[in-house]
Amino acid sequence: MDRILIRDLSARCTLGVTDDERREKQDVVVNLALSADLAPAARADRLDGALDYRAVKKRVLSVVERSDFHLLEALAEAIAEACLESPQVSEVAVTVDKPGALRFARSVAVELVRRRR
């Protein structure tokens, strides 16, 4: 299956378990691999029928920026659901990084893969 990759999408959201974490918005970095059949758009070289990855990005940013999750896992799940709203996306791999979440580590990340049912 073909894939469109959206890399290093940065956003801020309420995320975390402790009061300190929830007091201010946290930085997150989202990476997406959207699986879809890109052949028709590639052959036609036209937007008609192409996966609108700008719309996916906007939907994901909206989910992240309005979120109020405790766990990275829950945020990643919500992002995956938003990506699968695009009918062309058959599968999505979502990675959400929370920079600085652990001392001595650059980042902590959750990665999951979800498929259209």
- CA separation (Å) from 45 to 17, 52, 54? 47, 14, 17
Question: Which amino acid belongs to residue 38?
Answer: L
Going by their DSSP bridges, the two strands 68-69 and 91-99 should be labelled as unpaired
Q: Of the candidates 115, 90, 108, which has an alpha carbon nearest to the alpha carbon of residue 26?
A: 108
Q: Write out the catalytic residue numbers.
A: 98
- CA separation (Å) from 28 to 5, 12, 38, 61, 76? 17, 6, 29, 11, 11
- Give CA–CA dist 76/20, Å, rounded: 21
Residue with tokens 């609108």: 52
